[in-house]
Amino acid sequence: MDPDVFEDVRTELGIGAPWEARGEGRWAEAASLDPVTLAARLLARQARFVTLTATPTGDGGFRLLYHWDLDGSLLNIAIRVPGARVASMAAICPAADWVEREVRDYYGLEFTGRDDTPPLMLREGDERALFVRTQELGRDADPADTARRTGGGPAPQLPASPSAWPGPSGNGAGVPS
Amino acid sequence: MSPVIPIGPYHPALEEPYKIDVVCDGETVTGAHITVGFNFRAIEWLAERKNYAQDLALVERVCGICSNVHTLTFSRALERLAGVEAPERARHIRVVVHEAERLHSHLLWAGVACELMGFQTLFMACFALREKVMDVLEAVSGNRVNYAMNKPGGVTRDIVDPAMVVAAAREIGRVTNEQLIPVLTTDRTVRARCAGVGVLTREQARSWGALGPVARASGLPQDIRRSAPYEIYDKLDFEVPVREEGDVLARIVVRALEIVESCRIIEQAIEGMPAGPTDLGNFLPMPAGEATARIEGPRGEVFYYVASDGSDSPTRVRIRTPTFANMPTVALMVQGQQLADVPLIQASIDPCYSCTDR
């Protein structure tokens, strides 16, 4: 693709610093860019939304890395949000619908402008932000335990000895998973 | 009041956890709601708490059908992070296994689709052909599932009998060309069940981000092997089959033609395979930084993002599988279709629920 196209995109998005070429893709930090504007500009160029990588920054905010495919080239554009709210782009980019629902399940990030954000990996009624809540219990805590504690009733209790586990021969064949 | 028919959470054909609630007016579908997550394992969370060697085994288990694509994409992301590239021979071997996995996946799907159509003879023909692929994968890797072939910097095993692999690829390509494709494209049963059924338009495929054969069957010529070549794909001669119809039959035809192309690719990769090392050796510790990698899996683009702080565990791993992108399009495909066609339509995206739920 003509390199000028990427410069045009950078200008349209108001990204000051030049693209950083790494791997197959181009990277940019655009701290205050609105995701809806980003989506509108890239969709107008027939770009394809790949996914969103949300990473908690440790201060209650997030670094949101939006990955887009522009005619085979990968654009990785990072924005930062100080809290757990960001504009949803699902209304103009249906491909973002499930991604936003998944990110909300994991990190509790609220996508504003949606009619609703039903859970995707969690079940209706489950408490959101599964990974954030699990992290609060310790780095090596188990998200399954967190989910059982807060969303799915009490955790099933198994006898301590495997020989006493349910199953035809006490060998664990009937252990609930 | 329109009846809602709950199908699932176990797929009637694929025996995986997934639920679709179908709203009907008589026998005609007027709406659908998809529920996933029954097999959610928090693999991204786990990957951020294990070291790179453990993660290689972990990501291989994202999927039981296309396990190889996950270790390949993860390994390539780590190689990008470290600024290294696998040796030439290793890249040839990776392509052979990658395409063999595509063969077995497409043939597995074709068999399941034929069973759903009620075409048992063709189901058995597809699975008989798939067994030849499984024999190749077992001979090359030692395993029929979870091949453990990739590692950052190369592959874990050499191909010791390349002639056997080439002979099998030629045979599979010949049978597909002479038997499978003619039946799949002209048989009255196949056409009656699949032509004009479950249409996804080009515009719908684009806006919903459809990938792989689903996108290509709706007229979108996207294939990472062509648009962003990795390993040795820039040196290989192959076609990217595209159809415009967007129906179940188009998805069948695209995958069938891809079987033939994969056989051609395997032949070329083996014939051009140079002598030399198959891996770089240990290049840990991983430097701090972030990288992405994409490959064209059997179901479409597989995407990995890996961030490192220089320790022996990644600080962030993001996995976007193709079925995650394709699954929502089923709700569009079933609109206005007959209830009896829903199982076939949802199977036509070749869904992998294990991949989706991660």
Question: CB-based contact (8 Å) between A174 and chain B?
Answer: no
* Mean pLDDT (chain B, rounded): 92
Q: What is the pLDDT of residue B13?
A: 63
Structure tokens, B206? 């684009």
Nearest Cα neighbor of B141 from B98, B109, B171 is: B98
CB B245 within 8 A of CB B197: no
Using the beta-carbon criterion (under 8 Å), do A98 and B294 form an inter-chain contact?
A: no
- Would you tell me how many other CB atoms lie within 10 Å of the CB of residue B124? 13
Using the beta-carbon criterion (under 8 Å), do A24 and B207 form an inter-chain contact?
A: no
Alpha-carbon distance A128 to A106, whole Å? 7
Domains of chain A, first to last: 3-121 (3.30.460.80)
Task: Domain ranges for chain B, please list them.
Answer: 4-357
Q: Which residue of A has its CA nearest to B78?
A: A23
Using the beta-carbon criterion (under 8 Å), do A122 and B80 form an inter-chain contact?
A: no
DSSP summary character for residue B284: P
CATH code matching the domain that covers B4-357, chosen among 3.90.1150.10, 1.10.645.10, 3.40.50.20, 1.10.8.640: 1.10.645.10
* Mean pLDDT (chain A, rounded): 83
Using the beta-carbon criterion (under 8 Å), do B318 and A53 form an inter-chain contact?
A: yes
- The model's pTM is 0.90
Query: In chain A, what residues touch B222 (CB-CB under 8 Å)?
Result: 48, 69, 72
Q: Average pLDDT of B4-25? A: 81
Alpha-carbon distance A28 to B272, whole Å? 38
Q: What is the pLDDT of residue B12?
A: 64
Using the beta-carbon criterion (under 8 Å), do B293 and A23 form an inter-chain contact?
A: yes
What is the tens place of the pLDDT at every residue in A71-94? 899 999 999 999 999 999 999 999
Pair type for strands A73-81 and A25-29 = parallel
Q: What is the pLDDT of residue A151?
A: 57
Residues of B engaging A, defined by a Cβ cutoff of 8 Å: 36-37, 40, 42, 44-45, 49, 80, 206-209, 222, 224, 226-228, 230, 291-294, 301, 303, 305, 307, 315-316, 318, 320, 324-325, 327-328, 357
CB B127 within 8 A of CB B113: no
Q: First vs last Cα of chain A: how many Å apart?
A: 50
Interface ipTM > 0.90: yes
Q: Closest Cα of chain A to B322: distance in Å?
A: 10
Which of B122-126, B183-187, B290-294 holds the top average pLDDT? B290-294
| Burial per residue of A81-93, b for 16 or more beta-carbon CB atoms within 10 angstroms, e otherwise | beebebbbbbeeb
